[in-house]
Amino acid sequence: MGEYQYYEFLAIDRPLTYEEMKQLRDISSRARISPSSFVNEYNFGSLKADPRDLMKHFFDAHVYVTNWMSARFILRLPKESFDHKTLSPFTAYGIFKVEASPSHWLLIWSLEESENYDRFGEMDCSGWMARLSPLREELLRGDLRGLYIGWLAAVTQHSIDEDDLEPLGLAGLGKLTAAQRALAEFLEVDVDLLGGAGIGSPSLGSGESVQNNLDVWLKDLPQEEILGYLLQMLTGEGQLAEQTLRSRFAAWQRQAAPPHQAPTRTVHELWLLAEQGREQRLEQEAVARRKREEQQRKKREAYLASLANDFPKAWKTAQLNAEVGSGKAYDMVCQQLVDLADAYRIHSSKKEFDTALKRFLKENSKRKALVERLIKAGLWQIN
């Protein structure tokens, strides 16, 4: 199998201009380019540009996946959204890093090695962007759990010392968003470690408390600033105004109303919790499996009861399929007779089934391939 590389970029805060799309077309003649995205796949060669440069100038999110089992996800956020002091504790060599431009942060999550050959052999990476890009909005709202998941990926790879503490005792680790779970999957975070990290994590604040904080913040906004945002909304820059307001509110909230935090735990303690997480996962899987089995049992019982309501019709259907004469049809007949045997056992008797089966075989004795299937299924024996 040859090389495969997948590049996808997404513009969120503003659409690309015509001139910008022309610049991107100069980079790739084959890429799918729109005012909001740039997508290309390579079986030979690679992108003739540094993805980080494209992020700094054009885009807000980037997914990169190769079939040599490495992957990268990058988000661009306005500089005013975070200070470096907030971001730096989550960095981990080779897995999560932060780069700065004059106006933005680049948050870069990487997976450099994997043993998940099935995942990287699929060569279909188009779904990752839709699953991961909501992380940007979450971060802009002040939700740092996406950063924590990057740090947890480093713990998974045993890149962090056992005695090191968590960057922050975050709330809500026990109930992650869909995008956060997707990032954990993308970075191949140990599922039990992820579950263990959620044990003892406080729940997130209620929507009511967030609304109260928002009310307080809005009341203190200077009038001229409010007028500036209104002007942006009326002149086609409403998305930019909303983004700026969200970023400023998130920054204010982190300082004036910091989220409830739990005590930080060591990496060693997290691995111990991972054992608890494993036990919980296995129990949840067992419960789900029993539920599925019960649903399947009820479904089969209902099906067998429907056969018993009209046995002659069921035998007629089996006969019509047998007369098709193909291997596929014979397989279908065999399964139908297995079902009939069960239906007779529950709703009639084995003796009645054997009598009906003899009549069926008398009509189909020359269909050797069918008879062989019935013998193999244990429905008939040669004396």
**375: which DSSP letter?**
H
Characterize 64-85 residue by residue with b for buried, 16 or more Cβ atoms within 10 angstroms of its Cβ, and e for exposed.
bbbbebebbbbbbbbeebbeee
User: Residue 124 falls within a domain, yes or no?
Assistant: yes
User: Residue 40 falls within a domain, yes or no?
Assistant: yes
- Among 221, 184, 204, which residue's Cα sits nearest to residue 142? 204
Same domain, 19 and 142: yes
Provide the pLDDT for residue 294.
Answer: 97
Same domain, 186 and 229: no
| Locus of tokens 């035998």 | 315
Within the chain, residue ranges assigned H as helices are 18-27, 51-57, 84-87, 117-121, 128-132, 134-140, 145-156, 178-186, 191-198, 207-219, 223-234, 238-256, 267-308, 311-322, 327-347, 350-363, 368-376
Global pTM value: 0.78
Same domain, 105 and 154: yes
Question: Would you say 292 and 285 are in contact if contact means Cβ atoms under 8 Å apart?
Answer: no
Residue 318 Rama label (left phi>0; alpha psi -120 to 50; beta) = alpha
Is beta strand 61-66 parallel, antiparallel or unpaired with respect to 71-78? antiparallel
User: Residue 288 falls within a domain, yes or no?
Assistant: no
Provide the pLDDT for residue 211.
Answer: 74
Same domain, 9 and 155: yes
Same domain, 88 and 127: yes
Provide the pLDDT for residue 140.
Answer: 87
What's the distance, Cα to Cα, between the start and end of the chain in Å? 53
Q: Between vectors from CA 219 to CA 213 and to CA 225, what angle results, nearest 5°?
A: 115
Same domain, 150 and 53: yes
Same domain, 98 and 216: no
Q: Where in the sequence is the domain holding 362, given as residue range(s)?
A: 310-376
User: Residue 265 falls within a domain, yes or no?
Assistant: no
Same domain, 156 and 9: yes
- Among 374, 91, 79, 134, which residue's Cα sits nearest to residue 244? 79
Same domain, 238 and 124: no
User: Residue 295 falls within a domain, yes or no?
Assistant: no
User: Residue 15 falls within a domain, yes or no?
Assistant: yes
What is the residue-wise DSSP string for 284-344? HHHHHHHHHHHHHHHHHHHHHHHHHTTHHHHHHHHHHHHTT-SHHHHHHHHHHHHHHHHHH
| Locus of tokens 């019960």 | 294
Same domain, 135 and 102: yes
Same domain, 147 and 248: no
Residue 258 Rama label (left phi>0; alpha psi -120 to 50; beta) = beta
Domain total for the chain? 3
Same domain, 186 and 222: no
Q: Which of 233, 256, 279 is the last residue of a domain?
A: 256
User: Residue 235 falls within a domain, yes or no?
Assistant: yes
User: Residue 22 falls within a domain, yes or no?
Assistant: yes
Provide the pLDDT for residue 207.
Answer: 56
Provide the pLDDT for residue 258.
Answer: 57
Tens of pLDDT along the chain (383 residues) come to 578 899 999 999 889 999 999 999 999 988 999 999 999 998 887 889 999 999 999 999 999 999 888 899 999 999 888 889 999 999 999 999 999 999 999 999 999 888 877 777 666 678 899 999 999 999 988 899 999 999 999 999 999 999 999 999 998 999 999 999 999 999 999 999 999 999 988 887 655 566 777 888 888 888 888 888 888 888 887 777 887 787 778 777 767 655 556 789 999 999 999 999 999 999 999 999 999 999 999 999 999 999 999 999 999 999 999 999 999 999 999 999 999 999 999 999 999 999 999 999 999 989 999 999 999 999 988 66
